[in-house]
Structure 1
């Protein structure tokens, strides 16, 4: 049953954007089933829902990339332009996606005025383009130089450049799709400050994030989709976190559970021993030991060095000193193949760039690292491959059409499950997970972390590298890094505020 809670009359004004009774089908799949949303000008409106709820399809409809089968979209009370009129759409709405659309080899100025370099003239005058770009950046308080090559920008600054580019076309409605997924705590605070500043200047935002706390920090209103349908729209202040998760999942869920009690573990000689590991400028003097069946968290902000430590352990980076030992084996430093053969498997930081081959099937991605299990003498048995893939699909509850479906057709949460399935295919002694639930919904997050605990219970040692508190709750202990050093070691029972304060260097 669809619910709607009234928004305070003081802010009830004519909607800037309205999507009314939107239905969209892709073959037999109903991606949106009569949904609606109204976004009030000058506010930040959250769109929440599990993977597959219909959020991405609605974004495609709101940005004019997809025509709805039924329903209508309007801007400030006027019908949306035809899909063929791209400039008209760009002057009304823009989306800053999780994966940047900035072209890395071009300058900031060139990116800002891409395909508009003539500035209404017939000849490109680069000096004029640079001056116009810098004026635009200054107007919207974007702290970068117009001549900077885009690849040298931080993720945070790339996002601000994309917002400025959208504003320069006249758009005052900006969709932010997982904008904080690759930002540390300080950068998130700066981004939220900029959002508030832009709101005061009349810019309206639709905010999409799997991080529920961020929704409560930055948004005034929220709409929840579930199974392609509208569930509820309400002021954020009137919807508790538990009620939000219930709306997203259809089940009562409590977010107030404390970190778990100690796990007995299996005990015995450590399966992973890291001694005096160091890379100048990233981390130094790092010691770490993980026992069989133990889950250890490694937390910290974006500049803490935690990701660099994990990537060094798995062979993506070469240590300048120290050693990594898996049981009695010391893999060759800087070699992913050597780490894999020693018994280390990992889930990388970014599934898009490092975790998946989108043109390949679920079966091929799952079994990519274990060709020796698929046949003899270099020949691959498709039946063995598909058998292993079906086991992984069942174990991780991967929503797909079967082993032969291309992974680029899966939702983000199910893609992440495929990445984890590939890591588990080698039956690792040590499993290293880098931000394992980034960009996945609440239910997929629970499934992923539940599988991790099950794997640990078989004797695998697990290292969870994340700054997401929910990723760390089931850890037997959590190490916190600040500026390349481990500064805290939390046993089970820590509180959220205590851990976050430590990660921010406040404790």
Structure 2
């Protein structure tokens, strides 16, 4: 296994031969955000003409490395070089665009503009009257797309383009600046099988024309189909770089998974009896290409994990259960009731509690007090005739503060004044305030410290022991360890059910769509 920061060996895959100086290299990169270490003496070396995969689980440091490779931020320590030369100053954006471009999962194409306008935004040709020469602009845009074999009408509004077409236009725009090194960030996340094949054909064609790619994906089978070399990051560090053809899938999964994080093991809570009542019954749930024909049950006192990588559909299924989304087909039954699809109040009234994935935008109102946030779902218990008793509200809030061990001088403190861990405890308090029969949590420990993480997961076990059914949708193994069973989703479908007692590598492989026995 290579030490972190080592240069990769030359690829031996089907792509063109690699020679000469690296197109891009990052050496001994360290980046911190306060106490959080995003990259720790990490590095990568990308050779000309290859498609180089960068893989790692959430929090591995991939996004931070991309932001440094594209000049969006500077490392605290370390060096970035292109073609053997030091990277430009951060302020020299044109110099960066001439060296590297990133096509992000979320498109940067402006839908209100035409394709031509997007291709040459802020680079318009002007006539003698200093007005935009639209004819010349469209001709240049058409020539650019023809050069790179992109079959799109330059007069079309960008809003009319498919996801696949927007990606090709973004690649052509990047190439128009002179860049021959393109970073593709989860490029297949929103594509169907046929579009993925066309994208891969385009990548191979551009490779033959001297374009180099850094390919970031959660779908490991794609790495073996399109990439020549793979680099693995884990816990902010470089773990290995190998030619794809020389790295068995089991070894790749092992490099990504690493060892257990050392959190306390679950307390040994027994799973519910087979005859325990069903508190969640999901049947035939389908929503476009996001998830298809999803079906499962959760019993009283059972903790079920929805595991999966980005784009698997796990988050969207959980959000559908609690009414944040409405499915195109299928049914959701909570504690014997079928809440109105797409209605959070209906889901809560049926007996659901919910901890969303983004506490800052979905979990609380920052300027409101702990008391107001925690009791938001139980207004009917705070008074009568439409009036709220502040005394009753604060009494209930004090009870929740004690139950969740929220560190605060009092219930009147705005939630924005709390630490991340205590903010998440407020969100959990609100989810538990209506004594739910079903508790749905999405990445419930994201962005909290280890002690808060252990406390929150312990509280989930405690709630389950009292008879509440629990669904945890997450790709964090620590969140999933206390589950009685895992339902692993991949590309919108449940592909595996794994009982408690699993090994990290087994779950990571299933989440990444890899069959270790293949």
Using the size of structure 1 for normalisation, the TM-score is 0.66
User: Residues 352, 268 of structure 1: CA spacing in aligned structure 2 closer, same or farther, 3 A cutoff?
Assistant: closer
Mapped contact 1:222–1:234 kept (Cα < 8 A): yes
**1:377 maps to which residue?**
389
Mapped contact 1:245–1:252 kept (Cα < 8 A): no
Mapped contact 2:272–2:300 kept (Cα < 8 A): no
1:380-415 CA-partner distances (Å, limit 9, x unpaired): 76985995897699xxxxxxxx985787xx9xxxx9
Aligned ranges 1:264-279 → 2 under 5 Å: 266-273=274-281
Distance 1:479 1:418 in 2: 27
Counterpart of 2:202 (choices 182, 194, 197) is 194
Distance 1:185 1:131 in 2: 33
- Where 1:15 maps in the other structure, the secondary structure is coil
Using the size of structure 2 for normalisation, the TM-score is 0.65
Structure 2 residue 352 is matched with structure 1 residue 344: yes
**1:232 maps to which residue?**
240
Task: State the shift of 1:43 in Å.
Answer: 0.9
Counterpart of 1:100 (choices 99, 107, 129) is 107
Task: State the shift of 1:465 in Å.
Answer: 8.9
Task: State the shift of 1:166 in Å.
Answer: 0.9
Distance 1:59 1:137 in 2: 26
Distance 1:120 1:237 in 2: 54
Counterpart of 1:115 (choices 109, 112, 122) is 122
Distance 1:430 1:159 in 2: 40
- Where 1:132 maps in the other structure, the secondary structure is helix
Mapped contact 1:299–1:306 kept (Cα < 8 A): yes
**1:18 maps to which residue?**
25
Counterpart of 1:147 (choices 147, 155, 161) is 155
Distance 1:277 1:248 in 2: 31
Counterpart of 2:64 (choices 35, 57, 64) is 57
Task: State the shift of 1:16 in Å.
Answer: 0.8
Distance 1:226 1:479 in 2: 21
**2:218 maps to which residue?**
210
Distance 1:189 1:252 in 2: 36
Count of residues in correspondence between the two structures: 466
**1:38 maps to which residue?**
45
Distance 1:137 1:3 in 2: 37
Distance 2:230 2:274 in 1: 44
**1:7 maps to which residue?**
9
Aligned ranges 1:397-476 → 2 under 5 Å: 425=432, 428-430=436-438, 459-461=467-469
**1:164 maps to which residue?**
172
**1:128 maps to which residue?**
136
User: Residues 209, 459 of structure 1: CA spacing in aligned structure 2 closer, same or farther, 3 A cutoff?
Assistant: farther
1:250-284 CA-partner distances (Å, limit 9, x unpaired): 4289xxxxxxxxx8754344324568999999999
Structure 2 residue 343 is matched with structure 1 residue 331: no
**1:315 maps to which residue?**
323
Mapped contact 1:271–1:290 kept (Cα < 8 A): yes
Task: State the shift of 1:429 in Å.
Answer: 2.9
Task: State the shift of 1:15 in Å.
Answer: 0.8
1:290-316 CA-partner distances (Å, limit 9, x unpaired): 54356889999x999999887665434
User: Residues 343, 151 of structure 1: CA spacing in aligned structure 2 closer, same or farther, 3 A cutoff?
Assistant: farther
Mapped contact 1:274–1:324 kept (Cα < 8 A): yes
User: Residues 308, 71 of structure 1: CA spacing in aligned structure 2 closer, same or farther, 3 A cutoff?
Assistant: closer
1:438-481 CA-partner distances (Å, limit 9, x unpaired): x99xxxxxx9xx999967776555678999xxx99989797999
Distance 2:464 2:297 in 1: 15
1:2-44 CA-partner distances (Å, limit 9, x unpaired): 4848624863432111223334444565543433321011111
Mapped contact 2:323–2:344 kept (Cα < 8 A): yes
Distance 1:341 1:32 in 2: 44
**1:178 maps to which residue?**
186
Task: State the shift of 1:325 in Å.
Answer: 4.0
Distance 1:57 1:270 in 2: 43
* Cα RMSD, aligned residues only: 5.9
**1:74 maps to which residue?**
81
Mapped contact 1:272–1:326 kept (Cα < 8 A): yes
- Where 1:11 maps in the other structure, the secondary structure is coil
Task: State the shift of 1:94 in Å.
Answer: 0.8
User: Residues 170, 282 of structure 1: CA spacing in aligned structure 2 closer, same or farther, 3 A cutoff?
Assistant: closer
Task: State the shift of 1:234 in Å.
Answer: 1.9
User: Residues 72, 429 of structure 1: CA spacing in aligned structure 2 closer, same or farther, 3 A cutoff?
Assistant: same
Task: State the shift of 1:169 in Å.
Answer: 1.3
Task: State the shift of 1:87 in Å.
Answer: 0.8
Mapped contact 2:53–2:215 kept (Cα < 8 A): yes
Task: State the shift of 1:212 in Å.
Answer: 3.3
Mapped contact 1:356–1:365 kept (Cα < 8 A): no
- Where 1:19 maps in the other structure, the secondary structure is strand
Task: State the shift of 1:63 in Å.
Answer: 1.2
- Where 1:41 maps in the other structure, the secondary structure is coil
User: Residues 420, 218 of structure 1: CA spacing in aligned structure 2 closer, same or farther, 3 A cutoff?
Assistant: farther
Distance 2:344 2:214 in 1: 40
Distance 1:84 1:458 in 2: 57
Task: State the shift of 1:153 in Å.
Answer: 3.5
Unaligned stretches of 5+ in structure 2? Answer: 12-16, 262-270, 408-414, 448-453, 500-505, 512-518
Task: State the shift of 1:71 in Å.
Answer: 3.3
User: Residues 359, 377 of structure 1: CA spacing in aligned structure 2 closer, same or farther, 3 A cutoff?
Assistant: closer
